[in-house]
Every structure is written in structure tokens, then in C-alpha cells.
Structure 1
Amino acid sequence: MTTFAELGIDQDIVDALAAKGIVDAFPIQEQTIPLGLPGQDIIGQAKTGTGKTFGFGIPVVQRLGLNPEPGVKALIVVPTRELAVQVYEDIDLLTSGRSTSVVAIYGGKAYEGQIEQLKAGAQIVVGTPGRLIDLAGQRLLDLSHATEVVLDEADKMLDLGFLPDIEKIFAKVPAIRHTQLFSATMPGPIVTLARRFMSSPIHIRANDPDEGLTQANIRHLVYRAHSLDKDEVISRILQAEGRGKTVIFTRTKRAAQRLVDELGDRGFSVGGVHGDMGQEQRERSMAAFKAGKRDVLVATDVAARGIDVDDVTHVINHTIPDDEKTYLHRAGRTGRAGKTGIAVTFVDWEDLHKWALINRALDFGQPEPIETYSSSPHLYTDLDIPEGTKGRLNTAPKTQSTKTRRPEKAADAAEKQGDGGTTRRRRRRRRAEDAEHVGASFVEGSDKGSSDDAQNAADRDADGAGTHDGQGAEHHDGKSAPQRRRRRRRRGNGSGAAGAPAGA
């Protein structure tokens, strides 16, 4: 295996990589860097997780020199915010021994900080198409001297409908430039784009773009699962032997947040990245996942390209992706940098046709997913889940704990009030308290006899209670209006006047 030092790279860049334990070059880096350094236009194609960022980043940084003039000299365009952050961090590492400044330009964050860095003379810009065009339209971003241009994850640009924006960006950069285009797949429109905006590019394919599905370091498991059982199955998979960081993909942002809440309630350390979250929240969640503070990340496909974490051991597709390219990029989050990984995909009954298309397109060789439930024995053996594992950690909060505390608090309150412990005494106390607010007609057991009624009336008079007629005067009998109406109805129904007090 070739080392970076053997590829003619400047020593400060070699040292910066070595400080992070990066010494040997991957195949795509080994093939693209020697061509990129002298300024050859390149189309680089390799599966995700093989180090494409350093493949184009090292030539860009080295060609700018140790002390480039202030102003934007290099532009790296990426499709998503998460990928912008990841590429920015890699380029920032390469420039750590130089005066070169890097800035990330993407939406969801305030303009001011990005504009200040541009005004301070940043030489390398990493950005998403929308924010780049916005700032360029306001004349806050000058691309007229950007002689180094890179399109990263070009196929994702196509999927997100960014090709018209790419054309606008190319119209703002110099006609004579060094251009590199990197992608995992190479559909027809991307080839057409390359022919329009690149000068005699060399197409480098480090390996087959679909190799990630058949190579030995990624194991693929496909299950036909019921939607109501998925959470339980996932919770048991998360307790598998050797399970490290895990990424779970959902189709919608609502499903992502629901799964985050559910797994958190079951006791797992989980974070989310989806469109309903603010950019600051997404970045904090991603940073916590990378740092190991959370070992489960639930994400939608928008974030897939920016999850560049080497030690992801499991990828779980909560819902099957819509096509084989999305499946490829989801699965590519694990098995990165030559490490091993497991990709688990759940197929709903109504989505079997989608799996048939993906299976055929990628020659997966498994037309019928195995019907699987949380209690299926093969689930435990396939994923090394310990025998007897349930879908809730021992440390998970128990929902019944709130129910058991309420009677205890009521008993404590009763003791503090001096209750002797008899049900009859507590009932009489509540009766007297209720009478102060709503009148004797609502008192439980008010038909026990005239002596009780007389006593209740005496208690109200002693407390100065009673109901009012709305004009500042109290009712003449001291009883509430609802009780008087009830007794009138009783007389009217033929019950006789014997039950009414003499003064009624």
C-alpha cells in the first residue's frame, strides 16, 4: 500500500495527516492525487467511504501554495449541509500547517459569520448551491478568481435537482480552471455535465461503484417485518454483541423524530438528524454522535452523505429506500475505511415490489426477504443478540412509576391533616370542604337525615359561607340555587313536602 509521503505531497500536509493516524492512501487517492497535483481535470468514481475528500482536497490545497493571496481561490460544491461540514473539517485539517483559510457556506445558519470570514480573505470555500448563489447574487462572494473547482457527490446533486444551480455557479468562475468531479455513481446527466464544463477529463474508477454490496466487509440482512414490530426488533438489534455506533434511516422526518423519542424512552442513547430540526440542533446531534456521546443516530436520506464516521458498525433501514442508489449510499455509512459492518433492511409487505427492483438492479440475490418478528430465532443468531434480550434496557424509565407515587402522596397528605385513618372521617372532611364551595346539594350522602342537613347549614352559617343572588344579597335559606330547584322538582313530582324544611 502506498503512503502519502510517496505521492509527492508537501511535508506539512503529510505531517497533518500523520497526526491523525492517516498514513496510507486508499486506491482512489493513490490514483487521483498524482494526476490532480499538476492540474489534470479528473472524474473520480468510487464507492462511499473510500476517502474521496482527500483525493481532491490534497491537490487543491497544495496547488494554492503555502501562503495564497486573500480571496476565494478554490470552490468545493457539495449537495447537503452535513456533507459541507464534513468536507470543511477535512480541508481544515489539510491546511492546519498553512496560512490558508477555509470557510463553510451553507443554509440554516446566520449569514453574518460566513460573510465576515469571506471579508477576512478566506481562500477555500466549501458550500451548498443555494447559499453560494445567494451570496454571489448579493456580491458578497466573488468567484471570479476561483481557479480550483470541485463538485463532490455529483450524483446527489442530480437527485436533489441542483444541476441548474451548478450551471449558474460555473458561469461565475473563470473559464480557465482546474476542475474535479467526484461521485459514487455516474448517471448519464452527470457525464453530460462533465463534458460541458471540463477540459479533457480523465475518468478514474477505483473499483466498481456497486462493490459495496458484495464485498466481504459488509454483511447485508433483509427482513420482511411488520411495521408495529419494527421498534421492538430494532431495540433488540441495538443490544447485539459487538454493536458499536449505529445509523438508522427513515423515509420521513416525522418517522425519524418518532423513532428518536421511542428509543430514548426505551433507554438508548439516541440522537436525530432530519429536516424538522434547526441547523444548530443537527450539528450538535451529529457532533455528539461522532464524539461517541450518543451511539445511535436516526436520520433521513438528506443527511446520509454527511455521516462520515469510520466506526459505524450497523446501518438499519427502518423503511426501504426508493431506489438502488439510495440503498447504496445508506449502506455505505458502515464498512468504511476497510472496516467491517452490517446493513439491516426492513421491507414492509406493501413495499415488496421496491425490494424486487433494488434486488434486480444490484444483483443482490435475495428476491424474497425472510419473514421476521422480534421473537424469531434467526434474528438472534444472525445478529449475535444474547438469548432472552428484550426491547428495553434495564435503565429505561418505567412508565408505571408515576402511578405508584400518587396514592403515596395522597396518604401522606391525609396524615398531615390529622386523619385518623377511617374512610368515614375522610369522607366527612371532604363533604365539609365541598360544602364551602358548591353547596350541600353536591355532598355525598346528603340524604342521611335532617340532623345532618341542619349541621351542614350551621357549619355554613358559622363560616360565613353561602350563595348569592348576584345582587349582593344572600339567599334567604343559605342553600345553593341548584338544591332549591331540585327540591321544588321533588315536590312537583308528588314526593310531598315532608322532605322539605319548614321554612322552604
Structure 2
Amino acid sequence: MTLPVALTGHDVIGQAKTGTGKTLGFGLPLIERVVVHADVDAGRATEEQLSDSPQALIVVPTRELCTQVTNDLQTAGKVRNVRVLAVYGGRAYEPQVEALKKGVDIVVGTPGRLLDLAGQRKLDLSKVRALVLDEADEMLDLGFLPDVEKIITMLPAKRQTLLFSATMPGQVINLARRYMSQPTHIRAAAPDDTGTTVANIEQHVFRAHSLDKVEMVSRILQAEGRGLCMIFCRTKRTAADVSEQLTRRGFAAGAVHGDLGQGAREQALRAFRNGKVDVLVCTDVAARGIDVEGVTHVINYQCPEDEKTYLHRIGRTGRAGASGTAVTLVDWDDIPRWQLINKALDLPFNEPEETYSTSAHLYELLKITPGTSGVLPRSERTRAGLNAEEVEDLGETGGRGSRSGRSRGGRTAAAAEEAPAERPARTPRQRRRTRGGVSAEVAPNAAGAAAPAETEAAAPTDAPAAVLSDTAAGEGTAEAPRRRRRRTRSAASGEAGTEAAAAVEAVEAGAATDEAGEAEAGQAPRRARTRTRTRRSAVTPEAAPES
């Protein structure tokens, strides 16, 4: 229904249920309408119409959806050699800038990185002839609306605008008409499919206690015919906690939420697609547009915020005509919120049945073998697990140093380790000790000859051994530093009293001898200058002599 209208260049508002192929609904007209070298060779276009600037722009709300749409368009555009580039945050700028310089036909991106590159004049949007807003109700929400409006102002006024989503409230359609010119609103549905949800999805809603939810999920994951499973949580912390608990119980589980680096998010989603992980615990970043083949069960671990989120969550299963099972666990506090969702979607679950991990009706409705425990038997642990999938180095921006391979100073860790080996070893500074301007670097046995005269007068030869040893130690060479000995307070105080008294007597005796010699020579007696070095640790207030 969309292809003939979009191929003529008219504006389109496309609305259809999840899993009905909306990506190719807008992707195929874009691939057909861009001008490539094959058109010039076939005579359908001229050389002047070729351009290295983007001819079509697709704006998506999440990084995961950006990579998925890019892969789908690259697969569909292989025959015409259409160049498609994904532009989103969490990756290094340089590869994206290099690809833009080489030339791109279609750009798929998230609003933040698109504005960054356009503001740096790396992305030229002046040649864009078609704009697509995928998940349009999310893109025109209050959170994204300012960025989307900035992007639209950079585009030519004459262009084709396409809006696609599974949910399209009336106010969003009214808002979208401001940016569109006489749009055609196409709403696709099967003739017998009158409900708002996909008919192939079997829905169950249980009232569950928060402390028992992990036990219930562990048993649901062991139901008959269970393939890949997605578990949705409302908060990032809950998603990380549930993934960790399921891993400890033996399940091959991975997590996708905003606190993870982009490399870890893509690792978990890639392992889920490859079958190495069969349980993906995620927040609502993976609720829109993600298409993984083989998803049989979707579990709402926490009640969704509104009916749109509920539709997009359970729409990860039952895609392209397949059947699936959706289980919603509603806590007591979330009953009013769930009743609003139930009324908006006209579902028959206004009063969910109270259910625990041991309830018989849980085993019966979900085809769980009676007696199943909350731990996966070792014989059934056949998946390789998340660690079997390598983490791709994306050159993440704004992440921790360990993720991006950079140290705090901007160098890599390897360069930081090699740096000390390149520098010569630094020698410690040598310090010289002097006494009265005379260098103390003399031999220990010559300390008496090198000492000044006043020190000789202060320390005569008949002085006690303790004073002489301290003086020699203080005026020794730098190679033989003074050694400090530890003594107890009682022993030190007793010895200090004896040493201090002997030192005072020696000083007084030396001064008396000098005065007598000067008097005999007819000179006035001068005051002797004394310099006595005693051990600081040996002098205590209790041992000081009385005056």
C-alpha cells in the first residue's frame, strides 16, 4: 500500500502493527529514488545529478534500531550499490567522518550525532530530497522534538517526508502535518484483525510479588517450546540485577541498557541474534523496531509506562506471521497503571490473577512441566553464553579509560607503560653537611683535628665517653650517618641524669682552666662558648639538673 504512493514523491504517514515490514515500506522507495552510477550508465540520469552528499536522511530514536535499519537497507541496496551509513553516538567520530568524505547516498542516524556532525560542517544536509522519521511518535515526543526541528531547518524546503510507526496518536499526526505537504495517511491491517494488538500473540497478565518475580521468570524460561526470550524492565539497575541473577541460575543471559558502553550493548544484541545467548534482559531502548528471528516469549518484568510501550514491547514476538507468547507481571503498586493500559487497549485483564512461582495455573497456562525448579539443570545448559561473543572496539566517546583504551593523560596504556623505560634513571640529590662553614666530609678518625677551636674547648679530652661519641657522630662523614637507638623511658631517664651531670661538670672544669690561663697571661677572662651535642631522645624533663 505504501510503495506506489512513496515512489511518486508524495508525503506519507504510514501506520501498521509491529512486525509487518515498515522498514522496507520506506526503505525500498528511498533506494529506488536516489541517483547512483547505475542510473547514469542506464541513461536514466546525468552526471550532474550525482552527488557525494546524502540524498536521503532517516532519523531513528535508538542506536540499536539505527544499526538494524542500516543493515536492512545495505542488504536491499546491494544490486544498485547504494551507499548507506549509520551515524550514532557511542562510536568514534573519525570513521564516520571518513565515510562522509568518500560519499554517501543514504544516512541513518540518531538526532544527537547528526546535529554534532552537521554543526561541525562534516555532514551536508543541503542535498537531502527525502526525510524519514522512523518511530515517528517517539521522534515527535517532547524529548526529541527540539532536535528534530533543528534537523528539519537544515533540510531543503522542497523535499519528501515520510513518517512511520506502529502507534500514531492523533496529536502526533496534527503535529506532523506542520512539516508535511498534503500527506497521505495509510493505515494497514488485515481484514479480520480488528484488535489493537497482534492476533498471533498469546497474552498473559499475572499479579506477582516483587520478591518472587525472579523465581517465576526462571520457571517460565523452562516452558515447552521456548526459544529466544526478551525480558523488559523499567529501570537500568533492575535490568542489570535480573540478568545477573538469571546467569547465576544457569541461563545464558545478556543485558542491554543505557549504563552499558556501546560495545557491550552491541555485544549482547549480537550474541542474542547468533543464539549464544537466549535470554536478553533490557530496558525500553530495545522495545522499538528490534527484529530478531526466533523470539517466542516476551516477559514484562515490570509494568510498562503506557499502552504504546506495551504494544512495542510485546511486538518483539509474533513478527512476520509467527506466533508468540507475552507475559506481564504486575506488582500490587502498579495495578492502577495496568488498568489504564488495559482500558486503552480494550484487553480482558482488568483484574490480574494473583500468582506465585508455585501456583498451579502458572504451570498449566504456560505449559511448564510440574516440579520444575528455579535453577536450569546442567544437562540443558547448552548455550555458549555472553563471553563467547567478542566485544568490538568502537573507539567509544565519553567512556571510561579502560573501555576506550586511553589513559587519563590521553596516551594509550601501552605507551604509558613504555614511557618510564625511555627515560634515564634519576639519581637522588647528594646533600652536604657543614659545621660552622667547614665541610663535615672528613674521615671519622680526623674529627678532632677538623673541629673548630671553640668545640675543642667545649669538649676536652677528659670529657665523658657519651659526650665525645655524640660529638663525633654529629661531625662524622655523610657516608656514616648517626644512628639513633631506641630506649625505654625509665632506662633513658636514669642514664640521662648521669650523662647530663657529667657534661655540665666537664664544661665548668674546662671554663675554669681557660680563665686561669688567661689571668696568668694578664688578659681579661672571656666567656667560654660551648657547643655540646647530646642525644635528644636521652634528655627528658625529669632528668634535667636543678639550678
Q: TM-score higher than 0.5 here?
A: yes
- Partner-residue secondary structure (3-state), 2:189: coil
Aligned to 2:109: 127
Match of 2:182 among 200, 218, 227: 200
Conserved? CA contact 2:203–2:325, under 8 Å: yes
State the shift of 1:175 in Å: 1.0
Aligned to 2:237: 254
Conserved? CA contact 2:296–2:323, under 8 Å: yes
State the shift of 1:74 in Å: 0.7
Distance in 2 (CA, whole Å) between partners of 1:276 and 1:376 is 35
State the shift of 1:63 in Å: 0.6
Task: Flag structure 2 segments of 5+ consecutive residues without an equivalent.
Answer: 38-49, 381-483, 490-547
Aligned to 1:14: none
Match of 2:367 among 384, 402, 407: 384
Distance in 2 (CA, whole Å) between partners of 1:124 and 1:319 is 38
State the shift of 1:108 in Å: 1.2
Conserved? CA contact 1:80–1:306, under 8 Å: no
1:105-150 residue CA offsets vs partner (Å, 9 max, x unmatched):
1111111111111111011100011111111111111000000111
Distance in 2 (CA, whole Å) between partners of 1:212 and 1:363 is 8
State the shift of 1:473 in Å: 7.2
Structure 2 residue 317 is matched with structure 1 residue 347: no
Aligned to 2:149: 167
Closer, same or farther: CA 306–185 of 1 in aligned 2, 3 Å: closer
Task: Flag structure 1 segments of 5+ consecutive residues without an equivalent.
Answer: 1-30, 398-469, 476-504
Aligned to 2:97: 115
Structure 2 residue 351 is matched with structure 1 residue 368: yes
Closer, same or farther: CA 296–159 of 1 in aligned 2, 3 Å: farther
Distance in 2 (CA, whole Å) between partners of 1:323 and 1:187 is 13
1:336-374 residue CA offsets vs partner (Å, 9 max, x unmatched):
111000000000011110111111111102211011011
Whichever of the two has the greater Rg, that structure is 2
State the shift of 1:216 in Å: 3.3
Report the AA paired with residue 63 of structure 1: R
Match of 2:12 among 39, 42, 55: 42
Aligned to 2:378: 395
Closer, same or farther: CA 45–369 of 1 in aligned 2, 3 Å: same
Aligned to 1:239: 222
Report the AA paired with residue 321 of structure 1: P
Report the AA paired with residue 135 of structure 2: E
Closer, same or farther: CA 159–233 of 1 in aligned 2, 3 Å: farther
The two structures, once aligned, show a CA RMSD in angstroms of 2.2
Conserved? CA contact 1:212–1:328, under 8 Å: no
Q: How does 1:27-426 map to 2 (within 5 A)?
A: 31-67=1-37, 68-159=50-141, 161-207=143-189, 214-395=197-378
Conserved? CA contact 2:17–2:197, under 8 Å: no
State the shift of 1:393 in Å: 1.2
- Partner-residue secondary structure (3-state), 1:140: coil
Report the AA paired with residue 100 of structure 1: V
- Partner-residue secondary structure (3-state), 1:72: coil
- Partner-residue secondary structure (3-state), 2:350: coil
Conserved? CA contact 1:266–1:396, under 8 Å: no
Once the two structures are aligned, what percentage of the paired residues are identical? Answer: 60
State the shift of 1:70 in Å: 1.8
Report the AA paired with residue 34 of structure 2: L
TM score, norm. by length of structure 1: 0.71
State the shift of 1:160 in Å: 6.0
- Partner-residue secondary structure (3-state), 2:52: coil
Conserved? CA contact 2:140–2:148, under 8 Å: no
TM score, norm. by length of structure 2: 0.66
Distance in 2 (CA, whole Å) between partners of 1:165 and 1:211 is 36
State the shift of 1:306 in Å: 4.2
Distance in 1 (CA, whole Å) between partners of 2:271 and 2:247 is 15
Conserved? CA contact 1:213–1:220, under 8 Å: no
Closer, same or farther: CA 294–211 of 1 in aligned 2, 3 Å: farther
Conserved? CA contact 1:212–1:218, under 8 Å: no
